[in-house]
Amino acid sequence: MSINKFYKVKDGKIEGIGKICPRCGEGVFLAEHKDRFACGKCGYTEFKGKGKKK
């Protein structure tokens, strides 16, 4: 697995790509699924919205 999928270098500093888990903090990223973002460590889940429903 290539590390370039998860990090990028910008102005000589390493930055993570993707959302960070608000419960676990820095260094723990949320996995992106079709309909949600999920943390594999603590189980935190954010569902992707389709916009406002009428």
**What residues are designated binding site?**
21, 24, 39, 42
Nearest to 36 by CA among 46, 28, 44: 46
**Cα 24 versus chain centre, distance:** 12
Q: From CA 53, how far away is CA 29, in angstroms rounded?
A: 29
Residue numbering of the annotated binding site for Zn(2+): 21, 24, 39, 42
